[in-house]
Amino acid sequence: MASVLTLTVTLFVLGSLLLGSAFLDSTLNNIQDKVDISVTFLPDASEEAVLSLKESVALLPEVSAVEYVSKEEELALFRERHQDNSLIIQSLEEVGNPFGARLNIKAANPSHYETIANFLGNRAGEGAASTDRIIDNLSFKKDIVDKLLKVIASSRKVSVAISIVLVVTSIMVTVNTISLAIYISRDEISVMRLVGAGDMYVRGPFMVEGVIAGVIAAIFSLVLLYPATVWVRNATTNVYGGVNLVSYYTEHFGQVFLTLLFSGILLGVIASWLAIRKYAKV
């Protein structure tokens, strides 16, 4: 019973980490979608030059998407934002369109933003004649990207550390539990040895015990995970827009079930094997 309980707790936490990883990935993807590199061009930059740079950027393997906003669209967006300010609208009519085109660039991975920014920085006129410059400003929220990368790295390290601690603990408890069962059955084991029973015949029942404990623990952990996902969904609705772990759990139930079942059986077998090694020659 103690081994089943310990394995259940371990598999429950492992399942929670699996679902938590999906939740974290979804949250980080939402944040990442709001992070990009914004390239503003000089008002007199030709559309041909801007589109040429857009094609060059789009070919970079680090880039996942490039959005082009023409100077006319930029002016329309500005007018829409300040439609209630008659003074600004009147000024625009007098001076014309003061805006240049813009590129919004998204990286395939947050760690790629620095590379893209360096590429654009070189194209912004470093070492080039001022007459060749078309980029007016390069906006790159490096601090947000750095924090995002730190969160990703830290969360993965914490998950791995927790998993290792729980796996080691569950194996130790299961080893002790099965060792106790072997100790209680030491007389029967001695008799089997005397009549010529092989190692597998002696070890078999205890290996099966470990497998059964792992299977039962996997089932218990699956049952416990469902209400946990419901609670997380309700608790995070107002914070993250409701990342629906319940839907993820039901849609990926087979994957979660097989992962926990395999993990439970593996932990049970390892613990049983470690326990009976000590009594192999009893």
- Residue-wise pLDDT for 207-232, tens only, equals 788 888 888 988 998 888 888 888 87
Q: Do both 180 and 273 map to the same domain?
A: yes
Among 224, 225, 202, 218, which Cα is nearest to 260's?
218
For residue 82, give the CATH number of its domain.
Answer: 3.30.70.3040
| pLDDT confidence tier of residue 103, bands split at 50, 70 and 90 | very high
Mean predicted confidence (pLDDT) in 225-250:
73
* DSSP annotation string for 225-267: HHHHHHHHHHHHHHHHS---HHHHHHHTHHHHHHHHHHHHHHH
Express each pLDDT in 107-165 by its tens digit. 888 778 888 888 887 766 544 444 457 888 888 776 776 777 787 778 778 878 877 88
DSSP H or E stretch at residue 140: strand 135-140
Residue 249 lies in a domain: yes
pLDDT value at 71 more than 80:
yes
Cα distances from 252 to residues 205, 218, 255, in angstroms, run 33, 15, 5
> What total of structural domains would you count in the chain?
2
pLDDT, position 68: 92
Q: Do both 160 and 131 map to the same domain?
A: no
CB 19 within 8 A of CB 249: yes
Q: Do both 17 and 48 map to the same domain?
A: no
Helix (H, G, I), strand (E, B) or coil at 60: coil
Q: Do both 88 and 185 map to the same domain?
A: no
Q: Do both 176 and 237 map to the same domain?
A: yes
CB 103 within 8 A of CB 73: no
Higher-confidence position of 103 and 166: 103
User: Which residues, 6 or more positions from 256, have their beta carbon under 8 angstroms from its beta carbon?
Assistant: 15, 18, 19, 222, 225, 249
pLDDT value at 249 more than 60:
yes
Q: Do both 212 and 105 map to the same domain?
A: no
Q: Do both 23 and 116 map to the same domain?
A: no
Checking DSSP bridges between strand 102-107 and strand 135-140, what pairing results, if any?
Answer: unpaired
Q: Which of 115, 140, 165 is the last residue of a domain?
A: 140
Mean per-residue pLDDT over the chain, rounded: 78
CB 225 within 8 A of CB 190: no
Mean predicted confidence (pLDDT) in 80-106:
83
Higher-confidence position of 267 and 188: 267
User: Which residues, 6 or more positions from 252, have their beta carbon under 8 angstroms from its beta carbon?
Assistant: 22
Higher-confidence position of 190 and 115: 115
Q: Which of 140, 174, 203 is the last residue of a domain?
A: 140
**Residue 97, domain extent:** 36-140
pLDDT, position 240: 53
CA atoms within 13 A on the CB side of 127: 4
Q: For residues 82 and 19, give the distance between their C-alpha atoms in angstroms, rounded to a whole number.
A: 44
Residue 282 lies in a domain: no
Q: For residues 22 and 155, give the distance between their C-alpha atoms in angstroms, rounded to a whole number.
A: 12
**Per mean pLDDT, which of 61-65, 130-134, 172-176, 198-202 is the most reliable?**
61-65
Q: Which of 140, 158, 176 is the last residue of a domain?
A: 140
Q: Do both 158 and 272 map to the same domain?
A: yes
Q: Do both 194 and 256 map to the same domain?
A: yes
Express each pLDDT in 2-61 by its tens digit. 678 877 888 888 888 777 777 777 767 777 677 788 888 988 888 888 898 999 999 999
Q: Do both 74 and 11 map to the same domain?
A: no
* Amino acid code (one letter) for 74: E
Q: Do both 10 and 112 map to the same domain?
A: no
Q: For residues 1 and 84, give the distance between their C-alpha atoms in angstroms, rounded to a whole number.
A: 71
CB 233 within 8 A of CB 246: yes
